[in-house]
Amino acid sequence: MLIWVSALHCEAKPVIDYYRLKKSHDDNAFDLYRGDDMLCIISGVGKIASAAACAWLAARYDHEASIAWMNLGVAGSGQHEIGAAFSLNQVIDADSGQRYYPVPCAGSLLPGSACLTLSQSSEDYREDTLYDMEASGFIYSALRFSSAELTQCIKIVSDNRAHQTGKNRQRVSDLIHQNIDTIGQQANALIALNKQIAGLAVNPESWQQLIALAHFSQTQKNRLRVLWRYLMNRDNSAETVLQKLRGCSSAATIISTLELLSYQDSEGL
């Protein structure tokens, strides 16, 4: 399953139209649109809202073998033209300084960029990064349920030093729509990768050794399976990874260690 996460309806509308997604009338917490093995959720503005939307959906679909995530929205820039589209390769939370490293699909047609996530909108742009208000919250939450290679962000420049169009909702939709074919190609590559990962079997023997290290809740087991599958798919030795976990004293520590190993591995892609 692929889940699109956008802050505003105007950001999501090109995807909703492109994939002919239908509004769900069974959900009240967030506006949700459904398609064939695809969802699009309108989170609201801000990193906390984005994180909450991801966690809400992940809890509802924890039975899925694998979930891919795509954050789509607009951003400010100090140097790029209005309408330029980027696939984020680094996300920095302005409040905490935490850095995340999404892994764009191989063959992506979009150039990469760093993005600084702010709690408040700003026009004090730097030259070397994009600015938004959701990416760090999105990736913080999505990485708890999927691996870095299945967690991506696409941003389209709506504001720069010369022009501020981000408050014009129709203009926002138009800017994303003009990039929709390229966005769709990257989404299709992500869908294909997700299907491959969902089909990967977890070795029963190493899995039993892993879950015997501590008591895991069902939610923790779901996260554990995502991380373990990712690391094994990257040709890590089960024996080597298990050895690194021997000193961990709790389920939370084991998951944190695997997350760190996953992040370190993804930085080398």
Q: What is the pLDDT of residues 109-151, one digit of tens each?
A: 899 999 999 988 877 777 679 999 999 999 999 988 888 889 9
163 and 219 together in one domain: no
**Mean pLDDT across 21-43:** 92
Question: Where a domain ends, among 197, 213, 248?
Answer: 197
**Spatial distance between the Cα atoms of 12 and 166, rounded to a whole number of angstroms:** 14
154 and 211 together in one domain: no
Q: Which residues contact 205 (CB under 8 A, 6 or more apart)?
A: none
74 and 114 together in one domain: yes
Q: What tokens appear for 80 in the block?
A: 């790029």
Judged by average pLDDT, the poorest of 13-17, 113-117, 189-193, 203-207 is 203-207
59 and 189 together in one domain: yes
Tens-digit pLDDT profile for residues 68-103 = 999 999 999 988 899 999 999 999 999 999 999 888
| C-beta atoms surrounding 268 within 10 Å | 7
Whose tokens are 């150039």? That residue is 111
Question: Where a domain ends, among 165, 197, 229?
Answer: 197
Question: Where a domain ends, among 174, 197, 220?
Answer: 197
Count of domains for the chain: 2
Query: What was the pLDDT predicted at 201?
Result: 60
Coil/strand/helix, residue 210: helix
- pLDDT exceeds 90 at position 257: yes
Average pLDDT, the chain: 89
113 and 25 together in one domain: yes
CATH code where residue 40 lies: 3.40.50.1580
Coil/strand/helix, residue 90: strand
Q: Which domain holds residue 225?
A: 201-267
The full 3-state SS of 127-188, as one line of letters, equals CCCEEECCHHHHHHHHCCCCCHHHEEEEEEEEECCCCECCCCHHHHHHHHHCCHHHHHHHHH
Query: What was the pLDDT predicted at 234?
Result: 77
172 and 64 together in one domain: yes
